[in-house]
Every structure is written in C-alpha cells, then in structure tokens.
Structure 1
Amino acid sequence: MKTEFKFSNLLGTVYRQGNVIFTPDGDSLLSPVGNRVSVFNLTKNTSYTLPFAHRRNIVHIDLTSNGNLLLTVDEDGRAILTIFPRRTSIYHFSFKGNITALKFSPDGRYFVVGLGRKIQAWSTPQVPGSDGGELDFAPFVLHREYGGHFDHVRHLSWSGDSRFFLSSSKDSTARIWSLDPEEGFEPTVLAGHRQQIRGAWFSASQESIYTVSEDGALFRWEYVTRAQQHGADPEDADPEDLEKWRIVQRNYFMQNAKLKCASFHPTSGLLTVCFANGLFSLYELPSFSAIHTLSMAASPISTISMNKTGEWLALGSAKTGQLLVWEHQSESNILKQSSHLDTMTTLSFSPDSSRIITGADDGLIKIWDIFSGFHIATFTEHSSAITGSAYSRRGNVLFTSSLDGSVRAWDMLRYRNFRTFTAPQRLSFACLAIDPAAEVVCAGSHDSFDIYLWSVQTGALLDQLSGHEGPISTLAFTPDGRMLVSGSWDRTIRTWNVFDRSQSSESLQLTSDLLCVAVRPDSAQIAASTLDGQLTFWDIETSVQQATMDGRRDVSGGRTLSSRRTAASTPGTKSFNSITYSADGSCLLAAGNSKYICLYSVSTLTLIKKFTVSINLSLDGTQEFLNSSAIMSNGLPRDMIDTEGEASDLEDRIDRSLPGAKRGKDATKRTVRPEVRVTGIEFAPTGRTFSAASTEGLLIYSLDTAGMDDFDPFDLDVDVTPQNVEDIIQQKRPEYLKALIMSFRLNEKKLIRKVYESIPRTQISLVVRDLPRVYLGRLLHFLAQQLESSPHLEFALTWIGEVVAVHGRYVKERAGQFSSELRAIQRSIDGVGKTIRNLGQRNSFEIEFLCQQQSQGKVAMLTNGNGAGEGSIDGVDVDMADNDGWIGFE
C-alpha cells in the first residue's frame, strides 16, 4: 500500500476570523480558516485550501491588483508571501508587532499596514518573471513610517491614483496621508465622529471622502472653505479662511445595534454596512438612497467585501462560521456555506468515496462533497451532540446516533429522516453500528450496559443484548455480517452471533478500558485501542490474541498552555480514541487527543508515518516544551491575558444570555482555548484518501494530490524557456512534440494550453505515439482539466482516444500508478455526459412543445433558405437555428 499521503483540502470550516477578499477577476473568494486560507471558486463551484500554514490564526489577508501576490498576516504579526496562481509560499517575514490593518495600493507597487498606532508603507516584492525582475534576498523594504493616531489603526484604504491613503482609528478620527511628500500637502485629521471609525474611503473622483463610525454615522467630506460651506460668495471669503476638508453632509443609519464593518465601491458609489444584530444594508452615495436591508444571521457580521464590479457582496460571521456571497441585483445567494458551531465528533465516507458525513456537538449533520469542497445539505433533527454515523453498503441510507436518545435513519436520495429508533427507557447513545445488509441497526450507551438492536424495516426493537458490566464504548459489525463486536469500559471485547438462534457471545479480556475497536476488511482480525495506549490484535475465529503494540510514545504530543509538564509527560494524550483499517487491511490508522495521526503496518507492527494535524499555536496542545520566557512573575502564561480589550464598553460586558442554552447557541463569552485533538478518523473505500475530524476542521489527506501543480526542475536547462516554446510553435514546420515536452518541463498551465490548442487534429496521433511515457501522467491530468474547463470537447476526446489506443496496455499494466489520472478523466467524462444529456432533454422538450403549438395553429414562423428563422408563440419571440443548432426563447 502507498503511504505518501499529503494534505489535500480542509472541509468542515469555511470562515473563522479576519477579512475576506475577492480575486481581481471576481470569480474566487479567499477566506481565512484558522491558520490556513481557503479559496472558493464561485463560477466552477469548487474550493481548495492553500498548502501553507501559519503558526497562529490569520487576521489579515490581501491580494495585489493583478492577483499574483498574496500576503497573509497572523496574530503575532508574522507574514507569508505567496505566489497565488502557483499556490507557493516564497518568503516569511515578521513585522515585530500585531498588525491591525493591511491594504495593497491599486497599482500594486506598495502596501500599508497598521502597526498599533503607527502606519508603515512597504514596497511590494518583485515577483520572478514579472517585468523581468528577480526576487531579492530581502524582498520586504520599508518605504516610510507614519505616526499621529492615539489608538490602534483599524482600517486603511487607498486613493485611485495610489498617491494618498486614508487611515481610520479607534481614537474616533481619520487621517489623510500621502505616500511620498507632496508639494503643498500636509497630513490632515478628519475629526467629528463620536465613536471609533470603522471605515474611510475616497470617492471615484477623489473629491469626496466618506467615513462611517460605530454609532451609525456617515459623514461626507469635501475640500471647501468655511464660506463655501455656509453658502457665501467665494470672492467675499476671508483670505485667512484657508481651504480644508470639511463635513458637507451627515447621515445616520437608524439601527439599534452597533455598526461592525462596512465596505464602499467607489466606481458604483455603493456602500454596504453591517451591524451587530446580523443586518446588512446597501446604500447608494452620495444620495444616501437605501437599496436593500437584509439579515444574514442573528449573530454579528465580522467582515464584508465587494468584488471589482460591485455586483457580489461577501459576508462572514465569525460566531456562526458562516460565509455568504450575495448578488444584490438579482437578490440571490451565489454562495452560502456554514461551519459546525462546535467540535466535530464523527465522520463517515459514502461507499463511492464522493461524500463525507460529519456530525458535531452542536447536533448538526452536514454532507460534504469531496471533489467540490462544498457542503450539500444539513440535517437539524437531532437535539443534542452526534456520537456516531454509518452508511449502508449501497449508500442510500445513513444512520446516526445522538445523546438525545435517538438513532435516526436518513434517506440520502431525498434527504429526509424516514425512521427514528428509541429505547424503552431514556438513554444517551454513544456508539452505533449497522450490519452490511442494512437490516439491523444497533446502538450502545454510557447509561446502560446493554446493546439495543432494531429492525430497519419496521423500526421495532428486536433484542437487548446483556453481558457487559460497564458502559458500551464502541460497536462494529464484521464486513461479512456474521458477528457483532462490542467494546466496553469493563475491559472486555465481546463477539455476538446476533443472527444465530443461540445468540452466543464470547469475551476477550483486555488490560485497560476499551476506547475503540476496528475490524479488518477480510473479517479475520480485530484491532482494539485501550486507555493505556496499547493496540491489541485478536483473531476472530480462534479468539486468540495475535500481537500487542505500545503506541504511547507515538501518539504523545502537545501540551496545554497552563500545563507545567512537557508533551512527553502529559498523561491525557497517550491513547488512541479512534482507529481504522485501510481498504486492503495492510495498515492501521490511529489518532486521539493529540496533534499526531499515526499510520502503522499491521504485518510488521511498525510505525510507517506520522501526520501532524496542526501547528497552530492559537490552539492548546501544539507546543512540545515549556517556554519560561512566556511565563510572567505571577506564574501565569502571557498568552492567557487578554490584551485586546474588545469588551471595554458596558454594553459588550453585559451577559444577556439565558441559562440552559443548547446546541451551540449559547451567547456567553468564554476564554477557554480550543485544544487540538482528533475525534474521528476513517479511510475512504477506495483506499486513496483518509479523513480526520479535528479541532481545525475536516482534514483530507490524499495520494492524488501530485500532478500538474507540482514543479520538478530536474529536466530544465537554459534552452527551455517560454519564448523558445512560442518560437517553435510559430515556425513554418513546427515541432509540436518538442514544444509540448518543453511546456511540461516548465509546468506553465497557460503555456501548456497554448501548445495543446495549436496542435492540428491531424497531428495528434503522431504526437501521442512519440510522447515519452514519463509525461503520460501529466498529459492525462491535463486532458481531464480540459474536459472540465474547455469548450473544445471533441478535441479533448480525440486526444484521450488516441492516448488510450496507443498507451492503453501500458496504462492498464500500471493501473495503480495512473489511478488518480484515470479517475479524474472518468469524472470529467461523466460530468460532460451528464451536462449534454440534460441539454439534449431540455431541447427535446422545447422542440416537442413547438411541434404541439404548430399543430394547434399557434406558431407563426418565418424561415429562410437555411431552415433558420424567427417567429412567435402566443406573443413570445422565438429564434430557431438550423438543424445542428438550438431552439431558444428571448
């Protein structure tokens, strides 16, 4: 079995904190998720997570105007510079302080950051390959530093010509700065607001400035004299009355909540403001005309962003983990995704490995699509934490158990709950298992020592298995469906013949409390994890213990912030709470209350690989050793002290929540730091992917990440350049094969596509026949992408047909090597086929409708010689193309 699993994607969370931004083309949205950044493509309905990770949670992100450079800054002021199209981080830098604001200039040459009360302007690093420049050894160069505010800077914005920028601060003032010294210009203070300013922007003409404050006041500033402001003749004005920026218009948002964030689009004059009660309003300036007022959620909106055209609004709520993209012209949602409100507790793969089901302590069940990264549906019927989930073998039924005392069966075709199972007495179910035929479902509880069995068809309680002397912790059916395996805190494993008349059971004795049990896919072996960190393997047929392995040293890792022990001495992280076999049964994956996931070989009982779940220092359990410099004189860690003081106002400190709030909707604020841990882990049925439900979210590790995004400069030389590739294509007798190989070596997607589209159809077979097989995987991966994105379907299918005809036997003999590429092509072909079938059905319905209308004498059609024409059906204009075209309505 291959073990080169790499981080592929992060699901389960869509937004945590910080600001969200659109790409310059407006097609994608970037959202910080903990210490990573997720990218949501709004036109292709896909998402991915950038591979780099910060040491703490990200608070500010921004892109250059051309979309090449991405700058992300975490809570400690450490920045990572990334080439966004290549998803490659190229430089790490520390600002040596907490960054409160970040903004690139419109021309992309500079960016400004708010460093507490100061503002610094930095030169944008030169990207290799752009304008012929090369990346310097120290690309971050300080341009100028500005000072004058009396409190933290909260917002920065630039003028359209990149000569001036505005800063707004918690000291209730905004200031105008020039990037370089300007003749006759002095930094100007815009004072007049009563509370802190949330945003300040230049108008498109740069003749006006708009500022909004937390109390809902909107001021418009213009460069006028005092006499002009009061309507006097400018010629009669006092010469000493100099021109200054003055307030010419005051407007107020009549809301009973504080203004949390705002965004202004200078080109269209649209202003969007968001409030603490979840409302957001859209206004047109300078007329201050209200366009829309809608509610996103009951929780405050943390950030807002508008795309370049001003059509889409992106809103994020940190409290509910919700991300929304709204189109105000059509009043429709482009994107609506939400995270779990609490820690995820369970996950399950669908039988075709295309979807993952997650359950959490908030009582919600979410369905995630692995290929797109979006969640499809949410089930809210459970009223307490989800403790277990399992798919039927056919994938049409999902079973879940919860602490609310119910086991529910869900129809995955109609997305509804069609059966609910309960015990005679009220219990909180802690584990769940179903037989392979999906005829019997069983559940165990911590409140009772019995196992309950129900019929899926009738919903009736079939049996109540007794024998354990402690709470039931885990249940599992053998894949052949012959036995039920149960584990308990009474330090025993029991195997039940539930389908025999005798219903006999056999007990296997362990040395400690049982946490989890897994059955090998061939139903020949049981693996058990106990509280003392031991992994024990048993033979099911003979009930003989085969081997024991100590995993305490492997899983141990991470200490809490307040702990006085190192990670190696922490007792709570030395056991595996979740274990699972690989699809072929050769490996065992194990994880627990630790930042490590361990992959073991079952045959040799050796540790193959350790995966680190998170390096985020904002979570407890990621540090290994004690840091005496972070301990203050009173013995408390420095990180446990709140230095932000966000709840300084009386209104923010009042606790208005009610006791007994449930399902994650408790409005009280707690200073408890989340602790990194893995609550569930499972291999995909294909064996190419495994997923882990952790504090960070749903982590996806895959063997199929290698491909077109990897760059190997081994075959590069001085002659392999983009210019040489283009010169080869433009020759009278182009060497298409040489150009294609050189483009693969450079790994430039645009260049590969250009060479690919320049090859005539008659030359495809010759190029494929002479192509070195080392580039066969890259060509298949590229063709799969072209099927999804390119309109030239026949051209791509011709390439695929030639590759299969020439290299089919070679690919078949090495199916494992090309499995990811073949699956990508199959997925692309299925998607194209589905789209074409839907279009064909729709057009056949329209043709049938037109024929019926014509037979009834309701169609008046004027045709030309080619068979195309225009007409009307009951007053509706119709365009009819030729026999190879479409029929559509205007």
Structure 2
Amino acid sequence: MTTITSVELNYLVFRYLQESGFTHSAFALGYEACINKCTIDGNVVPPGALITFVQKGLQYLEMEANLSNVDGDADVDEDFSFVQPLDLITKDVHELRQMIKEKKKNLQKERDKDKELIQELEGERGRVREKERLEREKEHERDREKIERDKEPEKQQEDQVDREIITDQEDKDTVKHEENESFGGPEPMEIATPSTSQTCEIPSSDVTVLAGHTSEVCACAWSPTGSLLASGSGDSTARIWTIADGTSRSGAQNGPSNVLVLKHVKGRTNEKSKDVTTLDWNGEGTLLATGSYDGQARIWTTTGELRSTLNKHKGPIFSLKWNKKGDYLLTGSCDKTAIVWDVKAEEWKQQFEFHTGPTLDVDWRNNVSFATSSTDNMIYVCKVGETRPIKTFAGHQGEVNCVKWDPTGSLLASCSDDVTAKIWSMKQDKYVHDLREHAKEIYTIRWSPTGPGTNNPNQQLVLASASFDSTVKLWDVELGKLLYSLNGHRDPVYSVAFSPNGEYLVSGSLDKSMHIWSLKEGKIAKTFTGNGGIFEVCWNKEGDKIAACFANNTVCVLDFRM
C-alpha cells in the first residue's frame, strides 16, 4: 500500500498555505520544516493538491464503507448521501457501515409510511367519488320520475314541439356553419368531434392487433427503411414485428414467424428496473437503440442480436436519439446528465452535466449539436467537444417535457408543465414566440414535415402540441398564432404524429381512442377505439399504416387510405 512521508505532507501543507494567501504561516512552516532543502519538484505539484488529496481520501473511505455493504443491490449513490465528511474523519469503517444501515432502515420506514398514507388517501378518494356518483344517480332518477309524472298528460304535444325545435335548430346550425366556411376570419378554428354517425370508424378488417407483451407498451417506432415495427414495454422486452405490406388481416398477429423478442433481463420478466422506456432506429434502419429503466442503452440488429450495451448512466434513461449520420447515439437520463456515445467504439464520447434535475428529453440539431430539457425548467444546446452549453434557453416556469428542432434546425420548440409551448432561435436568448392557449400541462410537441428543407416545401410549416387538457393545438410558427384547436378527445393526449405528406395528423389519448385529422378539411377523417390508454402513435414512411401502443399490453397497426 502506498504511504505518504512527513516531508511530502509538509510540502503539501506549505503549498496550501502559500496558495491561500497565508504568507506568514507558509514562511514559518517553510523555515521550520526546511522546505527549501526537500527534493520535491514544485513544478510537478498541481495547484490545490492538498484539497484534492483530502477529497480523494474521503471518496476512498466512502467506497470502503459502501462497497463491502452486505446488501447485494445496494444503491451506492444513495448510501453516499448518508455520510458527511466529518463522519468519515471521526468514525472507522465499521461505525460508518452501521450508521448507513440505520439511516437506510429509517428511510425505508418513512417510504413505507408514505406509501401506506398514499394508498389510504387513494382508497378514501375512491370511496368519496363512488358515494358522490351514487348520490348523483339517485338524484337524476328522482328528477326523471318527477318530470315523467308531470309531463305524461301532454307528452304527445311536447314531442311534436320538440321535433320542430330540433329541425329548426339543425337548419340554423347548417346556415351558421356555411357562413363560417365562406367568411372565415383570422379567429382560430375550434374543431370538435363529429357525431358517431358522421365519424368514419376504422373497420376491424383494417386493424392488426399485435399481442405478446405482458405489460403496458409505452413506445413504438417504424423502421425508416423497411416494414419493421419496434415496440418497448414494461415487461422488460422490446419487440421487432415484421408487418406485411398491403392490407391487414383482423385478429391477433403474434406467431413466432413475425416477431423478435429483445430481452433486457435474463429469466424473470416484468422486473420494473428493466422497463423499456424509449427506442429509436438509426437512419439506415439497420440498428435499433433501446433505453431502459436500469440506466443502460442497448443497440440491437434487425435480426434481434444484441450488438452493444452502453453503461454509464446512474438512473433511468428517458430519451434517446441517433444523429443523422448514425455514428453517435444521444441519451438523456434521470441522473441529470446527457451522454453522447461513439457507436462504433461502443463507448461514451462525452457526458454533459449541466442540468440540476432529471433530463427529460434530447434532440439532435445536426450531427454534432443537440438540445436537452429537464425538470429544472431549463433548456441547453450542447455541442460534442464543447465543455459548456453553446446556448442556454431560460423562460419556462415548469418542467420542460419535450424539445424538438424544426426540419431545418433553425428553430427549437419546447413544451412544459407551465401550460405553455415556446419557440426559440439560436440568434437570440429570449423565446421568439410564447404559445399560451392550453389549459393544462403540455406533454409533447411535433413539427410538420412541411416547408423549406422538407419533401413538402410548398406547404406551411406548423407545430402541433398535445396536452393533458384533452386537446391538440396547431400553431402558425411564423406569427406565433393558434391555427386550430382539435377538441376530439376526453382525456389527456399523450402522442401526436404527422403523416409523411403533412396532410394528416394522428393523435392518441388515454381515452383509448386515436383520431386521424384531415388538416385540409379541418375535421376527423378516421377514428379507432382500442381497449386501453394510448401512449404513442406513429406513421410508417409510406404513410399508409399507423401504429399505436396501448396500456392493455397490445400494439395495433391500422391501414390508412382515403
């Protein structure tokens, strides 16, 4: 074991006193310890050497106290937080271990108490809600009976009047609608769900249900080049489904011939730490990256072979994206950092530690620079090789859930729990537009594949935002004005996606339904209702199939043709 001599220690203390401005003390120590006669080369000793030395010693003691802890799956980071520097200096390793054990036990007790309290509150809330519901139903029933009794003698006459009023009202509505269409002013259009008779429900013959996952499916993505669909689930697997071209066949499609199961844990499934939280295909469609609750990113081939496991994050990965070139993978984690990985070398290239809260989303601007957002309300634009952010966007007053660059990489859109979406430019620090029409948290945003630099250059560039207020809103990006409010859902909208030609928008909600909106006609063109809340929707590259992943463990593929 390496030891330090008294001469070396004296020199470190001498340098510390000198660097800290304690000139007289340094002179006295130097004279008494004969520093001028020691053989140490002062040029090779870096500034702050004593502090570094002490810190390293403390870290070593922390590790010694933790790494030999008996708990196999001890969270070392959490254990460190129980230990103060003074403890490390005054207590031996055995005492430190005991102290950590005690504090962990107390913490666990508190957590258990909190859990019980939450369960109790939930139960109480449920009972209160049920009681209120029953009371309301009884009241309605009493009212209905009273009305029936009062109106029985003149029922026929009332019916006749009602019919006339309804017909008259319908005529008025038709006239009003036509007037609006003819003289549409600058006011944003409110688009509500048409009645069921008008809505075009997608027939079951156009739906393929992919069964096999054993827990909720939270992510899905089409390969950019082929007929492969990837899905990620809470059952600790991702799956690659081969979807036949042409029309679907109704019923479950889950035979072994068309699905590859990518296991993130050996043996036991549904292990919560292995939830697959996010996934993304590279531009060539040859590799699939998955991010998991265990903090690892994994890269798979289209044949289901695990190519790489990328391990450095200390918490769940919430977002992950390939750059266009396909040489870097970017991950954002609950550990407050983002990491750029060199895919070929299978190692991390650079870790970016700017946020003070979990990183919620990441998005590449080009092959070397990207944006990150966090629960700390901040957005940073970073560049590989740079040690500081190249741009900082401050302005949100709540967690920033999503960031997306427009197709040319010149504007960045963001959305937040503060109920706003914002548009930013690299040319200025303050936001360009502050979009404030939603009533609740905005969960996600998407740019249309239209305007300059896209395959649809003659169409207007718009931004879609999906919110917990059950609406999707479309924005004119140039003016920062609301174009449409799409009001077809009854519960939070978690996901939206534009069709490749920019003419349609699909939205998926916790109300179990997905609506396909025609942006030309400003109405719902098709709709589908499944058996669970929808977490993500996506179009294939041809624009003739839509995938949706559900809370009831299934993925549905819908044939879309107008």
TM-score range, shorter chain: 0.3 to 0.5
| TM-score, normalised relative to structure 1 | 0.30
Question: Which has more strand, going by share of residues?
Answer: 1
Question: Which has more helix, going by share of residues?
Answer: 2
> Higher RCO, 1 or 2 (CA under 8 Å, sep at least 6)?
2
